[in-house]
Amino acid sequence: MTFVITQNCCTDASCVPVCPADCIRPAPDTAGTAAPMLYIDPASCVDCGACVAVCPVGAIYHEDDLPESQLRFKTINADYFAGTPLDIRATPARWSPTPVGRDALRVAVVGAGPAACYAVADLTRSPGVRVDVFDRLPTPYGLVRFGVAPDHQHTKDITSVFDTALSGPSVQCYFNVGVGTDVTHEQLTASYDAVIYATGATRSRELGIPGERLPGSVAAADFVNWYNGHPDHAEATFPLDSERAVIIGNGNVALDVARILVLDEATLRATDIAEHALNELRRSAVREVVILARRGAGAGAFSVGELMALGSLPDVDIVVEGALGERPDDHEGALKFDIVGEYATRPTVAGRRRRIVLRFGARPLQVSGTERVEALVIEDGDETSTIETSMVLRAIGYRSAPVPGLPSDPDTGVVSNHAGRVTSDGAPVPGLYVTGWIKRGPRGVIGTNRLCARETVESLLADAAAGRLPTPTAQPEAIRARLGEQGVSVVDWSGWRLIDDAERAQGSVVDRPRVKVVDRAALLTAAGVAG
């Protein structure tokens, strides 16, 4: 008997150290750190269920209890070890923080998304460390609230891990406080022993093709923020009035957006999708979503689990077009290629409500139209062709917004760093750190941030222990006082809990997990801090 890791795996690897048989791979302390998912070796699993108890997103099942849609993961887990037999390793030591050798260390963390939360969790395992968390929004969790697709409610369960970190006695939350607007970078560096930036990658990359700025040509990230109820995107509108939408890029964001465009109202209503988006999507004319990939099926940027999940969307046909390319040799690539191949041979069903077209080997050349998007011109092998549509969504990745005071790459926004220590001309800038997408670029799933944050925290604690941190010239308490004088409505942890309670209560009335409060002023009212 064995346990099986399935689609929802967040890779934060909480399961690895608790496994008495050490049979979950790739282990996070190996080259597999950025693996898209983890696998259990069925030959070594001792059937104890320890992994199930600690999995924060409910991704692990006993083989006898696998839901129908996840059955294939039994083979996928086993196959991983057919190519990579379980390496017997010395049991890795459990992580314990470097003792900082002083009574009090004050750290500011900027951002309250997954990378920030994992950093807070590790920092507060070190006695004497006190952490203040700043986020410009009135709510925590960053991409878990505004990025994770609403139909992935289990993934959002990771917030229970983050709640433990953020609600701890040595943590103060300063939500609705913008660094760079309400408080400056210089005030933070003067007031804290160290500052960690975990501000992610909030900007969308651009294609640089003609017509990209026509109305109807939009960043998928903006659409994601809109349907997830981000306060800055609530007023956005999208042309859902034509039968076809085209998504450029085939990463997991593209698949998220495609699902949201084709899911029926009842399925969407059972999620925490924003009310305004639910209303618009109910009226949507979109019947076909084309996901355009410039490379072949085995090179898809989507993960295996997300690709497989497309195949069980209710009342949706999956159609495959274009050049699939070569079957890769690696485990992940070969699986993707095979799954796409299965979709290609699946008969379409007459009368299905909607369809997703996976189109490979096609490069976007131009978004065309006069007043608004009318078509996308693509290059398909040696041919040029046109896809009629009124909405082109580019899901080609993110880049980080520059942070004043931090040296960053002008193209990607990634801050130059070594193991999380911000560097300038190759030398560490004392007391300044980064973690998450601003540190390593927009790659990986939520759990990838766990080890990323641990590396940064280790660097910080080692610097503290070695006396390499600058001495603050001001007290953090002065920041709260100044914010009060400026009239900034600070939402602390208890304020967020009030918002959370209000959203859940509203949700229970209409049989939904929550009804998100979207308007910023309404969020502050719900938090009890309206001016």
Query: Should residue 239 be labelled a site residue for ligand NAP when binding is judged by CB under 6 A?
Result: no
Q: Determine phi and psi for 197, rounding to 5 degrees.
A: -95, 130
CB of 444 to ligand NAP, least distance (A): 5
Q: Determine phi and psi for 227, rounding to 5 degrees.
A: -70, -20
Q: Which of 397, 420, 428, 436 lies at the binding interface for ligand NAP (CB under 6 A)?
A: 397
CB-wise, 196 or 445, nearer to ligand NAP?
445
Query: Should residue 438 be labelled a site residue for ligand NAP when binding is judged by CB under 6 A?
Result: no
Query: Should residue 248 be labelled a site residue for ligand NAP when binding is judged by CB under 6 A?
Result: yes
> Which amino acid would we find at residue 496?
W
Question: What pairing do the DSSP bridges indicate for beta strands 288-292 and 60-62?
Answer: unpaired
CB 128 within 8 A of CB 102: yes
CB-wise, 333 or 495, nearer to ligand NAP?
333
CA distance 442 to 224: 16
Taking alpha carbons only, the member of 257, 250, 262, 329 closest to residue 297 is 250
Tell me, by CB under 6 A, how many residues bind ligand NAP.
25
CB of 252 to ligand NAP, least distance (A): 3
Query: Should residue 396 be labelled a site residue for ligand NAP when binding is judged by CB under 6 A?
Result: yes
Radius of gyration of the chain (CA): 24
Q: Which of 139, 250, 284, 449 lies at the binding interface for ligand NAP (CB under 6 A)?
A: 250
Q: Which of 56, 150, 231, 251 lies at the binding interface for ligand NAP (CB under 6 A)?
A: 251
CB-wise, 310 or 515, nearer to ligand NAP?
310
CB-wise, 154 or 468, nearer to ligand NAP?
154
Rounded to 10 deg, the angle between the 72-83 and 331-345 helix axes is 140
Q: Quick one: tokens of 432? A: 């300044």
Site string for ligand NAP, 189-218 (x = CB under 6 A): ------------------x-----------
Q: Which of 445, 461, 499, 526 lies at the binding interface for ligand NAP (CB under 6 A)?
A: 445
DSSP state of 64: G
Q: Which stretch binds ligand NAP (CB under 6 A): 121-129, 336-344, 394-402, 416-424?
A: 394-402
Q: Which of 12, 306, 455, 492 lies at the binding interface for ligand NAP (CB under 6 A)?
A: 306
Taking alpha carbons only, the member of 235, 245, 271 closest to residue 395 is 245
Query: Should residue 154 be labelled a site residue for ligand NAP when binding is judged by CB under 6 A?
Result: no
Query: Should residue 256 be labelled a site residue for ligand NAP when binding is judged by CB under 6 A?
Result: yes
Q: Which of 356, 395, 461, 515 lies at the binding interface for ligand NAP (CB under 6 A)?
A: 395
CB of 293 to ligand NAP, least distance (A): 6
Q: Which of 116, 117, 179, 254 lies at the binding interface for ligand NAP (CB under 6 A)?
A: 254
DSSP letters spanning 473-502? SS-HHHHHHHHHHHT---B-HHHHHHHHHH
CB-wise, 254 or 403, nearer to ligand NAP?
254
CB 267 within 8 A of CB 314: yes
Q: Which of 294, 331, 482, 504 lies at the binding interface for ligand NAP (CB under 6 A)?
A: 294
Q: Which of 114, 361, 442, 476 lies at the binding interface for ligand NAP (CB under 6 A)?
A: 442
Residues 6+ apart with CB under 8 A from 510: none
Residues 6+ apart with CB under 8 A from 490: 174, 175, 176, 177, 480, 483, 484, 529
How would you class 459 by CB atoms within 10 Å of its CB: exposed for 0-12, middle for 13-18, buried for 19 or more?
A: buried
**Residues binding ligand NAP (CB under 6 A):** 207, 248-254, 256, 293-295, 299, 301, 303, 306, 364, 395-398, 442-445
